[in-house]
Amino acid sequence: MTSVNFAVHADTIIPVSGTQSVLNNYSIVVQDGLIKQLLPSTEARQLKDLDHVELPGHVLMPGLVNAHGHAAMTLLRGYADDMPLSAWLNDKIWPLESQWVSSEFVSDGTDLAAAEMLLSGITTSSDMYFFPDVSARRLRAAGLRTQLVFPVMDIPTAWAADAREYLDKGLALNDHFKHDDLVDIGFGPHSTYSVDESLLSQTAMLANELDAVVQIHLHETAAEVLSHVEATGERPVDLLARIGLLGPRTQCVHMTAVGNQDIETVAQYGAHVIHCPRSNMKLASGTCPVKKFKDAGVNVALGTDGAASNNKLNGLAEMQAASLLAKLESKDPTAMSARDTIQMATLDGARALGLDHVTGSLEPGKSADFIALDFTHLGMEPNHQIESNLVYANLGSEVTWSWIAGKNVVKNRQLQTLDSDALHHKAAAWRGKLSP
C-alpha cells in the first residue's frame, strides 16, 4: 500500500488536460490525496520522502467515470436476456425486484459491482437504485467516488411506500453525506412514464433549492416517446423544459429516440446526455446520435447502465463500444476519435456529474483519481499510437493499479478494499435464491 505522499513512474501519461495529449517519460506526484505535480520522470525520481512506484510498460490516465448505473442489479446479470426493454422490465426485472430487493440484496450486489468497476478502471460511479443509503455506504467502503441519485417515484417498494417517503429519505441521505468528500447526492426520478408531472415538478423545485443534480431515463425508445406524445401532445424532453427540470444540472440518460428538435432543446438548456452504448445495443432500444449532440455543443458522458442489461460494468469495453457505434450511427469514420472517447469517459463524465473541479483529468490540485494500464501484451504491439490502442485494442483487463483520492484500491490487479473470495460466495448464494 502506498503512503499518503508518493510518485508513480510510467512510460506515458494521458492527462486529458493541457496542451499535450500524451506525456512520455513523465510521473505523477501525489501529496495528501491530491495531484501535486506532473514531472519528467528523471526529476520525479530525485524527490525525497516519497514512496516511489515503478510501472514500466504502463500508461497512466484519469480514472474512468461511469455516469449511469444500477450497481445492485449486478446480481441479475444474465437473468433475463434477449428481450425488448418493455418486456424485459415488466415481465422479468420489476417482478423479480418486487420479490427480492432488500438492503442485503443491494449491499451484496453493490459490492460485486464495485469490484468489477474498479478492476476495469472506473474510479467514479453514478448510481440510481433502491436503498441508496446502503449503496452509498458500500461504494464508499470500496473506495469509489460516487454520486447517488436516489429514486423518486410514487410506487410502493421495499425502500419507500409513496412519493413523500422517497423524498424524505432522499433528503435525509443528502443531509447525511453533504460534507463527505467521496459521496454526492442527487435526485433520480426514473422516467416521464413512471413519474407523473406533479412529482417531477416537485423534484425540479427541490433540486433547484439544493443546487443538486437530477438524473432521468429519457427518450430511451421510440415507443416511449410516441406514447407520451399521444397521451399529452408533448415530447418528454419538452415536458422537462416546461416544468423547470431541464438545465445544466440535468443528466438525460440514453436519448436514443431523438430528433433534431430534441437535440436543440437539450443544447438550449445546457443539459447533459449520458450515453449507454452496450446496454442500448443489447436491448435494441436505439442509438444515441452522439456526433449530432456534440456538434450542437451538448456535453456527452458515458455510462454502463446496469449489468442486468449490459451485461458488463467494464469502463474500457464501454469506451470501445461508444467510439465504434458513433462511427456506425453517423456513417462517419471521423466521429468519436480515440481522443474524443477518452475525454468522454473521463473529464466529460465528471462534468456531467458536476465533479469536474475534483476529478476527470490529471491536473495539480485535483484529486489523485488515476489508473495504470499494462500495455505490454502482444495485442498492443507495435503500439504506434497510445490513445488508439487504449480505445480500439483494449481487452478490458489492462488495469493493474488504481488510486482514488490517493488511496490505492487496486494493486497488481488485486482488489485492496474488497474480498474477492467473499464476493464469489455471496454471488453463488444469490444465484441459488434467484434461480427460476
Distance separating alpha carbons of residues 178 and 13, to the nearest angstrom: 33
Strand locations in 319-416, DSSP E?
Answer: 370-374, 399-404, 407-411, 414-415
**What cell numbers appear for 327 in the block?**
462511427
Summarised one tens digit per residue, pLDDT across range 59-82 is 999 999 999 999 999 999 999 899
pLDDT at 233 over 70: yes
pLDDT, mean of residues 277-298:
96
Q: What angle do CA 407, 410, 415 make, to 5 degrees?
A: 115
pLDDT at 186 over 50: yes
pLDDT of residue 94: 86
Distance separating alpha carbons of residues 74 and 164, to the nearest angstrom: 28
Which architecture, in CATH terms, is 64-352?
Alpha-Beta Barrel (3.20)
Summarised one tens digit per residue, pLDDT across range 336-383 is 999 999 999 999 999 999 999 999 999 999 999 999 999 999 999 999
Contact 63, 371 (CB under 8 A): yes
Q: For the chain, which residues make up each domain, given as ranges?
A: 6-62+359-415, 64-352
Residue 200 — pLDDT band, cuts 50, 70, 90?
very high
Return the percentage of the chain with pLDDT > 70, whole number: 99
Distance separating alpha carbons of residues 324 and 263, to the nearest angstrom: 21
CATH C-level class of 6-62+359-415: mainly beta
Summarised one tens digit per residue, pLDDT across range 23-61 is 999 999 999 999 999 999 999 999 999 999 999 999 999
pLDDT, mean of residues 180-191:
97
pLDDT at 151 over 70: yes
* Per-residue CA distances from 339 to 4, 96, 336, 343 (Å): 31, 41, 8, 6
pLDDT of residue 1: 46
Contact 27, 374 (CB under 8 A): no
Distance separating alpha carbons of residues 146 and 405, to the nearest angstrom: 12
Residue 3 — pLDDT band, cuts 50, 70, 90?
low
Mean pLDDT of the chain: 96
Residue 436 — pLDDT band, cuts 50, 70, 90?
low
What secondary structure, in 3-state letters, does 305-339 show?
Answer: CCCCCCCCCCHHHHHHHHHHHHHHHHCCCCCCCHH
Reading phi first (left if > 0) and then psi (alpha if -120 to 50, else beta), residue 254 is in: left
> Residue type for 294, please?
K
Summarised one tens digit per residue, pLDDT across range 297-343 is 999 999 999 999 999 999 999 999 999 999 999 999 999 999 999 99
Distance separating alpha carbons of residues 385 and 377, to the nearest angstrom: 15
SS3 label, residue 123: strand
pLDDT, mean of residues 164-192:
97
Contact 199, 154 (CB under 8 A): yes
Burial class (CB in 10 A: 0-12, 13-18, 19+), 381: exposed
pLDDT, mean of residues 408-418:
98
What letter would DSSP give residue 68? S
pLDDT of residue 2: 54
More confident residue, 84 or 105: 105
* Per-residue CA distances from 175 to 210, 319, 419 (Å): 11, 34, 30
pTM, whole model, 2 decimals? 0.97
Contact 101, 94 (CB under 8 A): no
Distance separating alpha carbons of residues 338 and 387, to the nearest angstrom: 6
pLDDT, mean of residues 133-154:
97
